[in-house]
Structure 1
Amino acid sequence: MTPMAFVYTEVQVSVPFDQAPWHEINKTIQQQPGFLNKTWLSGVKTNSLGGVYAFDSIENATEFVTGYFPREAASFGSAHNTRVFDAEIVRDASLGLNSPHFGGVPTQKPGAFVYTEVQINVPFEKAPWRDRNPVLAQQPGLIAKTWFSGVKTNTLGGLDAFDTLENATAFALQDFPKAAKKMNSAFYTRIFDATVTEAASREMHSPYCV
């Protein structure tokens, strides 16, 4: 099923992923209304826990971040961060960069993910993604990108899958800050190790683990 909404989460904890109770959490998340799949995220150098989720509607995604997820984060005794994104509006832009969320077929397993978000209010149809996609396609090691457009905020961002942690780090530290500067906007980036979360993500039908 094609997703209609994405959710990004990150919990302010430091837990090596092999010590995280991901199997138990997976069982609970799979019961949430409208849930389609999840790609687990484990922070590089921080061991934060999070994920990118696909839902069948913005309404169910919103219920997840306002109902279930605060309880999950509270079980760790930790603050957390959530975002809801409109998936329908970013479909064409994401397909242009081989997003597996919309049927793209990655050529290899990702070694790392980069989450990005720019503090700007731009309706996605007016966003410069047509100019940005060819530049991103030349980014060393990029496997796929799923664009994000914030619900109620129109922030711009995405989840970028890279072949190696080194290429992901270079993108997050060198390329992306330049792109944000051109928009004269503050930004938010995170780097995640995709290798340690593969089994957990596969159990949640992540499109990156097919």
Structure 2
Amino acid sequence: MPWERINRSIKEQPGFINKTWLAGVGNDSAGGFYVFDTIENAQKFVTGYFPAEARVFGVAQTTRVFDAMATEAASLDMNSAHHSGHVSIKPGAFVYTEVQLHALPFDQVAPWRELNPKLKQQRGLLSKTWLSGLHTGTPGGLYAFDTLENARKFAVEYFPTEAADLNAAFYTRVFDADVTEEASRGMGSPFYR
């Protein structure tokens, strides 16, 4: 993966703030969690730059835009590195989740006040940034874990029970943070400050 070239190109995109590179466990996928100054700049990125970059590699792509302001209180409560939280231990893994729930405002659809205390008890959890899909309200999150083992256990054992309690279909991905640390540092990722 040509990290340096891609990092330089991404840094030139309007409104770009930072990126945490993500490397899929068991599937050799590459991607990232990007932060932009406005929803409009994020939309320009996912409709312009990102599809063009995926074409260079000849791969299909998946993108989603989330409303950071809709989830700010819930994310602050989970020590989100993207909302002024501080992660003092270097992450060993990341987990991405998304749950199919109604397209309502985040506070109406995601019972985060009940879920956060349970999530905080998960072994090795360092941080969670809550996500709320733009135009969909679909809740989810980017979690940072201390080890790949704890991340896998969360994604395979715990998270399916949370989705079942919500009676909803879900999507999870586990990422190895160690293989992308250097590339993420070069992009200002808040996990490596």
Q: In the alignment, what sits opposite 1:125?
A: 107
Q: In the alignment, what sits opposite 1:153?
A: 136
Q: Distance in 2 between matches of 1:195 and 1:39?
A: 12
Q: Which one has a larger percent strand, Structure 1 or Structure 2?
A: 1
Q: In the alignment, what sits opposite 1:179?
A: 162
Mean alpha-carbon deviation: is it higher for 161-170 or for 123-132? Answer: 123-132
Q: Percent identity?
A: 61
Q: In the alignment, what sits opposite 1:84?
A: 65
Per-residue deviation, 1:182: 1.2
State the SS of the aligned residue for 2:62.
Answer: strand
Per-residue deviation, 1:107: 2.2
Q: In the alignment, what sits opposite 1:11?
A: none
Q: In the alignment, what sits opposite 2:21?
A: 40
Per-residue deviation, 1:35: 0.4
CA deviation digits over 1:115-168, x for unaligned, max 9? 000111242111200000000000000000000000000001000000000000
Mean alpha-carbon deviation: is it higher for 113-122 or for 57-66? Answer: 113-122
Per-residue deviation, 1:84: 0.2
Q: Distance in 2 between matches of 1:107 and 1:135?
A: 21
TM-score under structure 1 length normalisation: 0.90
Which residue identity does 1:143 align to in structure 2?
Answer: L
Q: In the alignment, what sits opposite 1:201?
A: 184
CA deviation digits over 1:53-87, x for unaligned, max 9? 00000000001000110001111101010000000
User: What's the Cα RMSD here?
Assistant: 0.7
Q: In the alignment, what sits opposite 1:49?
A: 30
Aligned residue pair count: 191
State the SS of the aligned residue for 2:71.
Answer: helix
Moved over 4 A (4+): none
Q: In the alignment, what sits opposite 2:94?
A: 113
State the SS of the aligned residue for 1:72.
Answer: helix
Q: Distance in 2 between matches of 1:190 and 1:46?
A: 10
Q: Distance in 1 between matches of 2:156 and 2:83?
A: 28
Q: Distance in 1 between matches of 2:99 and 2:83?
A: 23
Which residue identity does 1:169 align to in structure 2?
Answer: R
CA deviation digits over 1:160-207, x for unaligned, max 9? 000000000000001110111111111110000001100100000000
What runs of 5+ residues in structure 2 fail to find an aligned partner? Answer: none
State the SS of the aligned residue for 1:81.
Answer: coil
Q: Distance in 1 between matches of 2:98 and 2:7?
A: 26
Q: Which one has a larger percent helix, Structure 1 or Structure 2?
A: 2
State the SS of the aligned residue for 1:80.
Answer: coil
